[in-house]
Amino acid sequence: MKKKYLLISLPAIPCLLSAQQIPQKNRPNIIFIMSDDHAQQAISCYSHQLNSTPNIDRLANEGMRFTNSFVTNSISGPSRAVMLTGRYNHLNGFVDNNCTFNSQQHTFPMILRNNGYQTSIIGKWHLVSNPVGFDYWNILPGQGNYYNPDFIEMGKKSKQEGYVTDLITHFSIRWLNQRDTSKPFCMLIHHKAPHREWMPAPEYLNLYDSITIPEPYGLFDNYEGRGTAARVQTMTIAKDLTWCSDLKINPGNSLNHLSGPTGIPSFHKNYDQMNAEQKALWDEAYDMENKIFLNSNHDSTTIIRWRYQRYIKDYLRCIASVDKSVGKILCYLDSTGLAKNTIVVYTSDQGFYLGEHGWFDKRFMYEESFRMPLLMRYPPLIKPGTIDSNLVLNLDFAPTFLAAAGVVIPDSIQGTSLLPLMKQPNRKPWRKSIYYHYYEYPGFHSVKRHYGIRDHQYKLIHFYYDIDEWEFYDLKADPHEMTNSYNNPAYKKIIGRMKKDLEKLRRQYRVPEDKPVH
């Protein structure tokens, strides 16, 4: 059967949940939902090219969609540390995933708890140390597993039967039912999905089987016109996705004629954690297509295209479960009357490459991983269907929640409350530019250290440490960032101005001077 390009529409969750009616308070409740590696381009209210996310879209339809939301450091642990503290990584101490978070420092949940809120976090923590400042926590150890994962509940580890996204949702609703209803609450729901290695829930294993997902611009990028960093990374779909754990090719078949690493010597590191029923469903979903592909001869272009389809479909299947979870949470709020006085936020810890530049993963300051989704619903302040185009950062979450709760924002917080934008979207003046800094090199995926500045049209990046290279992009003329224009004379004055603005931001945020390696 010839495959077609089309968008599969998933149903929104019908609000049939029953729950105890909970009295409202003047101070808003806060539900902060964060997924892991969920790209803007894989949310249908941002882009209708890849998938349908009707429940996440509800937050945009009933609240506000931020079109220029960015991360300060596009990697999981550091991003989470920034969100919690409202401070850049060089100040909160968690610059890369090799660090341990100092949980004793001030975080917005801790401050809210000290000011009468009941606080909880459920799901992915990924900051090594145990959470502090929460009345209740139930977290995944490290990255956690998709199937039958371990959870650490208030210090006690136990294995839970089921799919991780469903379990996080279940534990979240359970806590909402059991919480102290005399206090306002702040709950962090942190999903593992759609983090690598993209293992879908059993109900979605065959989603997208009959279609071909459109290929992104730059899938076959050869990195001409860019500097060293883009060429030496190790996060390409062509070479760096593993056949076994990423692409679910059984190593019992011959892989000698295929390019790219075969990965670990087992079908999948989480496969052994599955029960018999889960394994049967998994085997049925993947075995037939594996046999067809492995028994055919393919050129390199065809192999890359196949790898992309396998990767992107599993990624989108994981998102289907996240969208379903968001629907259940929103229905709970509706059924209890809590929706009227609850701030609901949906975001990701950063963006992600979905084949753009031929990549998966994140880390670079290029748009797809630098951008992050941000949706907010709060009926008392935000009008339905609002769109804001100001430059906002994950640095801004902590002061936003504190301001909404009527709590004094500590001077140590470097972000800006988004409350004024919730009241008056697209208001001016607002920040004119934003600062980014990535540190994890040498490290996984070999992305060079870099920092930079972005405004509404231009981006300037400095790659440093073991190299000294600059890149500049005019995002209107070159939205896909395919050509470094740093040496283009037409941009000399703009680059000069941006260098000055970059130094101002580094002084404003108290960024230490670089220490190059010789």
Strand arrangement of the beta sheet that strand 136-140 belongs to: 156-159, 150-153, 136-140, 118-124, 185-190, 29-35, 342-348, 374-377, 64-66, 386-388
Q: Answer whether 498's CB lies under 8 Å from 77's CB.
A: no
pLDDT of amino acid 298: 77
| Model confidence pLDDT, tens digit, residues 441-473 | 999 999 999 999 999 999 999 999 999 999 999
Q: Answer whether 352's CB lies under 8 Å from 360's CB.
A: yes
φ, ψ of residue 271 to 5 degrees: the values are -60, -40
Q: Are strands 185-190 and 29-35 parallel, antiparallel or unpaired?
A: parallel
Torsion of CA 300, 303, 309, 311, to 10 degrees: -100
Class of the 436-508 domain?
alpha beta
pLDDT of amino acid 214: 95
Residue 449's closest CA among 57, 96, 70, 34? 96
Instruction: Give residue for tokens 């949906």.
Output: 346
Q: Above 70 in pLDDT, residue 53?
A: yes
pLDDT of amino acid 517: 65
Contacts of 458 by beta carbon, 8 Å cutoff, 6+ apart: 472, 473, 474, 475, 491, 494, 498
pLDDT of amino acid 100: 96
Coil, helix or strand for 31? Answer: strand
Q: Which of 10-14, 127-131, 455-459 has the lowest mean pLDDT?
A: 10-14
pLDDT of amino acid 21: 35
pLDDT of amino acid 135: 98
The CATH fold assigned to 29-198+311-433 is Alkaline Phosphatase, subunit A (3.40.720)
Q: Above 90 in pLDDT, residue 481?
A: yes
pLDDT of amino acid 249: 82
Q: Above 90 in pLDDT, residue 266?
A: no
- Say which residue, 415 or 6, is predicted with more confidence: 415
Tokens, residue 185:
């609450």
pLDDT of amino acid 251: 52
pLDDT of amino acid 477: 98
Q: Above 50 in pLDDT, residue 18?
A: no
d(CA 290, CA 298): 13
Q: Above 60 in pLDDT, residue 227?
A: yes
Residue 313's closest CA among 211, 218, 195, 216? 211
Per-domain residue ranges of the chain: 29-198+311-433, 436-508
Q: Which of 113-122, 149-158, 286-295, 320-329 has the lowest mean pLDDT?
A: 286-295
**Confidence class for position 286, pLDDT limits 50, 70, 90:** confident
| Model confidence pLDDT, tens digit, residues 291-342 | 767 766 778 899 999 999 999 999 999 999 999 999 999 999 999 999 999 9
pLDDT of amino acid 291: 72
The whole-angstrom distance between residue 387's C-alpha and the CA centroid of its chain comes to 20
